[in-house]
Amino acid sequence: MTNHYNIQIIQTQTDFKLTYRDNKFRKLEHLRGTLDNAMLHQLGRIIPRTETNIESFAMAYKDKVTYTKIQQEKSLYTLFLDEWTSFFETFTGLPPKFTGMDGKSLKMIITYLKKIAGSENEALQLWKIILNKWHTVKQFHQDNTDLKYINSKLNIILHEIKQQGNTYSKGTNGSVEL
């Protein structure tokens, strides 16, 4: 897993970006501020070799250097995948096997739902509705929770959910109903 941290040397207002992969230091990037030869020679002192040492370095250099973890926002693809993974594990009681073909199917589902919903947020809400109403579709579909299957039968699944008395509408307040 890759994590990024901002380091700021308070006195000189110099910012760096640290990258750690699997708890090991990988990269240092100079973002802004002055960097002279004296600082360059001392820079290694404020960089922990492992990510687990960041807290101790933050305490050691308190009021001189700040260490801030960069929180990365999840992509739409990751949000869709997280929803499906949670659904799959809850519905089947097993962790899903995920292949490249499943990834391609998920991308196709996202593209289609964005097209009919109008925006990424509404597409995600529609995906959540589909997964939450999965128990209302025919038993044959319920038994096929694989992304390849869902993608191939998405029109039928949407139609069945809609026939349960639900209608799809883009709400004025950003809500999506099916």
CB atoms within 10 A of CB 176: 22
In the listed set 25, 54, 70, which residue is the last one of a domain according to the structure?
Answer: 70
pLDDT at 45 over 50: yes
What's the confidence (pLDDT) of residue 135?
84
Average pLDDT of the residues in 50-70: 93
* DSSP annotation of 89: H
Q: What is the pTM of this model?
A: 0.58
User: Residue type for 178, please?
Assistant: L
Residue type, 111: T
Assign 3-class secondary structure to 96-131. Answer: CCCCHHHHHHHHHHHHHHHHHHCCHHHHHHHHHHHH
Q: Does 66 share its domain with 81?
A: no
pLDDT given for residue 101 in this prediction: 94
For 137, the token pair is 């579709």
pLDDT at residue 141, rounded to an integer: 76
Domain match, 123 and 143 both: yes
The overall average pLDDT reported for the chain is 87
Range of the domain at 65: 2-70
Mean predicted confidence (pLDDT) in 130-147:
84
Q: What average pLDDT score do residues 81-109 get?
A: 91
Whether residues 31 and 107 share a domain: the answer is: no
Percentage of residues of the chain with pLDDT beyond 90:
48
Domain count, the chain: 2
Is the residue at 53 inside a domain? yes
129-138 pLDDT, tens digit each: 988 888 887 8
pLDDT > 60? residue 173: no
Verify that 148 and 82 share a domain, yes or no: yes
pLDDT of residue 25: 93
Res 29: pLDDT? 93
Q: Taking residues 84-103, report their average pLDDT.
A: 90
